[in-house]
Amino acid sequence: MNLIQIKKIKTRFIVMNIIKLSAINSTNDYLKELTSKQYVENFTIVVAESQTAGRGQMGSRWDVEPGKNLTFSILVKDLLIEAAGIYHLNVAVAISVIEALDEYSIPSIKIKWPNDILAGNKKIGGVLIENSFKADGKITSVIGIGLNVNQQNFEGLPKASSLAVAAGSDFDKDEIRISITKKLQHNIAKVLHRDLEPLWDSYHKKLYKLGAPMPFENEQGRFMGIIKGVTQTGQLEILLEDDTVSRFAIKEVQLLY
C-alpha cells in the first residue's frame, strides 16, 4: 500500500477526511482496520487508484483497471436506526449514486437488486455495505462503492461496461466521487429523519426490470416471474406464474439477465 495523501474538505454538511491511496487490497478492509486501531471521524473516505482484492455482493470479486475507475469507501458512524431497517441505508446509497450519475446524463441508469448499478443491461458499478451493530443500538457502516468510469476494455466480461462506454466520453473521477458523497450525506439525513418515502419511491422507479417478465434461478432451478418491488427489509418480491407473490432474500435468488 502506498499512501498518496490525507486531507480535509469542507462540504455543505460536514468536514470530511479523505485518505487517497495508490494501491490497496480493499478500501473497505483498510477502513475497517483503521477504525479498529484508532478514532476515525464520521464520513472519512478512503479512495484507491488500484484495488487488488475488491469484493462485491456475496463475496464476488470486483476487479478494475488501475487509474481508470472509482473505488472508495465511506465511514458512516453511529446511525440511530433499527437493525431491521438497515436496508434503508442500502436504498440511500444506491439512490445517491443514481442521482449523481443523472447529473451527467448517463443513459438508462438502473439499480439491479440489491445494489448493482447498470447502464442499459451492463454493470457499471456496485455497492457493498458492511455493518457493525453496537450494544446501545447504534450502527457503524463501511460503505464501499465501485464505479467503472473511464475503462474501455472489458475483455471476458460481457456484462460489464463503464460511464465512458455508455456516454462516449471520459469523466473526472474526483468530481463524480464528490457528487456521490454530497448526495449520500443528504440521503442519509433523510434516513435519520425517517423521511423514507421519497427514497423508496426513487429506488423503485430506478429498479431494473420492475414489472417485466424475466427469468430467475434459485436452489430449485430456473423459473419465470415479474419483479413487483423490494420490501423495506430488502427482500425481492416476485409475482410467480401461479399468481402468488414470493419474497426472496439476497442469497436466495439470482436474476438471469
Which tens digit of pLDDT belongs to each residue from 190-248? Answer: 998 999 999 999 999 999 999 999 999 999 999 999 999 999 999 999 999 999 999 99
Across the range 77-87, mean pLDDT stands at 82
3-205: CATH class? alpha beta
Q: Is domain 213-255 classified as CATH 2.60.40.10?
A: no
End-to-end CA separation in angstroms for the chain: 37
Instruction: Judge residue 42's burial from the number of C-beta atoms within 10 Å of its C-beta, 0-12 exposed, 13-18 middle, 19 or more buried.
Output: middle
Sorted by where each begins, the domain ranges of the chain are: 3-205, 213-255
Residue 168 has pLDDT above 80, yes or no: yes
pTM for this prediction: 0.88
Q: What is the pLDDT of residue 155?
A: 85
The reply to whether omega before 198 is within 30° of 0 (cis) is no
pLDDT of residue 211: 97
Q: Please enumerate in sequence order all residues whose Cβ is within 8 A of that of 243, keeping only pairs 6 or more positions apart, or say none.
A: none
pLDDT of residue 257: 83
**Would you say 1 and 21 are in contact if contact means Cβ atoms under 8 Å apart?**
yes
Return the DSSP state at 173: H
pLDDT given at position 116: 95
pLDDT the model gives residue 66: 79
The yes-or-no verdict on residue 10 having pLDDT over 50 is no
pLDDT confidence band for 136 (50 / 70 / 90): confident
Q: How confident is the model at residue 9 (pLDDT cuts 50, 70, 90)?
A: very low
